Structure formats: C-alpha cells, structure tokens
Structure 1
Amino acid sequence: MSNQNESSLDKEKQPDPKVKVERKEGEPTAAFKGASWAALLVGVTAYFIGLFNATMQLNEKGYYLAVLVFGLYSAVSLQKAVRDKEEGIPVTNIYYGISWVALIVSISLMGIGLYNAGSIVLSEKGFYGMSFVLSLFASITVQKNIRDTQQARERD
C-alpha cells in the first residue's frame, strides 16, 4: 500500500511534459511576447478607431495614418540598425543615420500636426499622441522579441 502511495506522489511531483513548453536560453517568455503584441494591437487599434470616429477631413485622416505607418517602420528600422551594430553585423552609417532621422521626423510630424490641429480638442490630441507612442514602443518590442526568439532557436 505504501508503495502505491509513494508512486502516486512521485507522479504528482514530476511535471507533465505536455504542459511544459521548452524555452530556449535568450528567448523571451510567452507572457512578454503576448504583452508586446497586445500593446501593439491596442495602440494601433485605438489610433485607427480614433481616426475612424474623427470629424476631420479625409486628407487629415490620411496624414495621421501616413505618420503612424512611417513611425512604425522607422522605429523598427532603427531598432534593427542599433541591434545589428551592437552585435557586430555591418550597418552603413548612412542607413543608421537615416533610421534616426526618420524616427525623429515621424515623431516631429506627429507633434507638429497635433499642435497645429485646430479641429481637434486637447483630449483627442493626447489620445492620438499616447496611442502613437504606445504603438512605436510596442513595435520595437515585438521586433526585438521576434529576433531574440529566432536567434535562440538557431543556436540549438
């Protein structure tokens, strides 16, 4: 009888191999990856909902959409260039510089656009600014997670 109890206790102590997901060294956790994707989706979705519901003209909506796309691309491009340089992967100075300039320009365009937007109330300006910054930061984090995961899996 005691052998049966001991063997059942041993089974309880051992983790179920189906439940445990093997994470490679250097790979971000599933929770961090999920939070990054969620932040990106929340930021971009909120921005799009704000644009859809805005009473501004279509050309203004297009401007803010283009600034978001430009900002997301430039943020990911800069993150990649910085990381490549840090890891000793060749990055030309012109590309590195353009990446910095593109991000600064996209943030400046957003700031200048919101500052000069007379048809948008202050609370909406804050909403667009915060969803823009959240989206930029999340895009950088998602790109970093994808690269870290890929590198961790290539090591094995």
Structure 2
Amino acid sequence: MTEPSVPHAPTAAFIGASWLALVAGAATYLIGLFNAEMALNEKGYYLTLLMYGLFSAVSLQKSVRDRAESISVSGLYFGLCWLSLLLALLLLLIGLWNANLALSEKGFYGMAYLLSLFSSVAVQKNVRDVSLVRQAAPAK
C-alpha cells in the first residue's frame, strides 16, 4: 500500500467558512423545523433525515478519500454509502413533495438541507487534512 501524500493544511478562512456553512445550514433547518406548524412525528421525520443525511455524506466522502489514498474500503460499504446518501435525498424529496407546505417553505428546507450536507463534507475534509498535517509535522 502506498503512503498517502501529506496535504497542505487548509486555511483558517476555509475552515471557518466550512464550519459557518454547516452551522448556518443545520441551524436554519432546525429553527425552521422548530417553528413549523406540523405534527411532531413529521418534525421527527425531517430531523432524522438531517442526521441520516449528514452521516451518510461524511461517510461517503471519507470512503472516496480512503480509496483515493489507497486505503482499503470494501465495495459493499462503498455501495452502502452511496445508497444511504441517495436514499436520504430521495426521502427528503418525497417528504417535501407530499408536505402541506408553501413552495417557498419546501425550497427553504431543501436548500438548508443541501447546504448542511455539502458543508459537512468540507468540514470532514478539513478535519482530516489538519490531522494529517499534524501527524506529518516534526515533534517540537
């Protein structure tokens, strides 16, 4: 197995922007959900989809990166990561399609969800890159 090259450390601005986007996306989604006039079980459905989507996006990103660095990832797990992410997106789409919400509210939830998923991938990448840079740095 080849040794992965040490990446450059992400800038503080990129790390901050990634975390800000994640917090903004997830907080906006959750605040909207808290204020929504829907049954508690619907709120639970959308909350579960956010958690499932975040986990599957981070897991897929890690698996893609592991493969790029020649770290073994089974085909079954890699396929499950893709399936989980697509399933989370499909379930959100179905839920919003059938929800008794204004079109603007549906767009609000969809965009906050996508911002959260995208930024979670960036945050995970930053965490991994910073960790690799610290491991490669000589001990002081």
TM-score range, shorter chain: over 0.9
Gaps of 5+ in 1: 1-23
Which of 105, 121, 129 in structure 2 is aligned with 1:140? 121
State the percentage of identical aligned residues: 57
Report SS of the residue matched to 2:37: coil
Aligned counterpart, 1:53: 35
Return the alpha-carbon distance in structure 1 between the equivalents of residues 121 and 7 of structure 2: 21
Q: 1:36 aligned to 2:18?
A: yes
Return the alpha-carbon distance in structure 1 between the equivalents of residues 12 and 73 of structure 2: 30
Return the alpha-carbon distance in structure 1 between the equivalents of residues 111 and 24 of structure 2: 11
Which of 98, 106, 109 in structure 2 is aligned with 1:128? 109
Aligned counterpart, 1:102: 84
Count of residues in correspondence between the two structures:
132
TM-score, scaled to structure 2: 0.92
In the TM superposition, what is the alpha-carbon distance from 1:106 to its structure 2 partner? Answer: 0.2
TM-score, scaled to structure 1: 0.83
Return the letter of the residue paired with 1:151: L
Aligned counterpart, 1:16: none
Return the alpha-carbon distance in structure 2 between the equivalents of residues 57 and 122 of structure 1: 19
Return the alpha-carbon distance in structure 2 between the equivalents of residues 67 and 125 of structure 1: 14
Deviating runs (4+, > 3 A) in structure 1? none
Return the alpha-carbon distance in structure 2 between the equivalents of residues 142 and 99 of structure 1: 18
Return the alpha-carbon distance in structure 2 between the equivalents of residues 63 and 139 of structure 1: 20
Highest Rg: 1 or 2?
Answer: 1
Which of 67, 75, 94 in structure 2 is aligned with 1:85? 67
Aligned counterpart, 2:132: 151
Report SS of the residue matched to 2:105: helix
Report SS of the residue matched to 1:90: coil
